[in-house]
Chains A and B, each alone.
Chain A
């Protein structure tokens, strides 16, 4: 049974629109992460969280917000989507005492 799930799996949005990507984990991990994956860049960290109510900026946070309302859920929010945000987005959860992260299946976002 999948421990990290993401929704939607595919999304087409219009420039200037608001997009919310959702992530749910059943690992009971304190830490959660959002990455984007682009050809030529690998995975890059956008935002992460240490627990409910906490969000921290990663390496490329501009244009993104994050929300962690509970231990299980972590959302990535694009208030004004741009074509440059077209990418595959991965969510992960991890135990703070151990660096391993467990990844969801990814969300493919296309901004037209």
Chain B
């Protein structure tokens, strides 16, 4: 069964400094990776999706995928206090047909201080 682990559990950065979050997964055949943001007591907002090794940028959010190392990361450029939230990594495999099942990490709590 797929295992997804995120690190660190919590991270505090100053406004404007780069924030880097990590996610490792156990199944090397995984081919769909997403980063979600969850503000307190709110739903999940997808930030960036990546499907092949390399880099994918969406505004201030950049995901890096290295499937050989079973690792995907999220880098947040110029973070703002409004980016303070829990960040969730989600990994899934395309099995053909319609069965896409996401496995989530436990999340990283990011706090951005002014």
Binding site for B on A (CB under 8 A): 4, 30-31, 40-45, 48, 50, 58-59, 90, 92, 94, 96-106, 108
Contacts and interface: CB of A to CB of B under 8 A. Distances in A.
Interface stretch (B39-47, B54-62, B67-75, B76-84): B39-47
A106 B41 contact: yes
Given A31-B98, A108-B41, 15 more contacts: A40-B106, A42-B4, A42-B105, A43-B102, A48-B101, A59-B1, A90-B44, A94-B100, A96-B100, A99-B32, A99-B100, A100-B46, A101-B100, A102-B46, A104-B43
Contact of B42 (A30, A40, A105): A105
Nearest to B34: A100
Interface of B: 1, 4, 32, 34, 36, 41-44, 46, 49, 88, 92, 94, 97-102, 104-107
Which one of B43, B94, B106 has the highest number of Cβ atoms from chain A below 10 Å of its Cβ? B43
A43 B43 contact: no
* Interface of chain B: mostly helix, strand, loop or mixed: loop
B64 to A, nearest CB: 19
Contacts of A100: 34, 46, 49
A25 to B, nearest CB: 12
B100 A103 contact: no
27 contacts: A4-B43, A31-B98, A40-B106, A42-B105, A42-B107, A44-B104, A45-B101, A50-B99, A59-B1, A90-B43, A92-B44, A96-B97, A96-B98, A96-B100, A97-B98, A98-B100, A99-B34, A100-B46, A101-B100, A101-B102, A103-B36, A103-B43, A104-B43, A105-B42, A105-B43, A106-B42, A108-B41
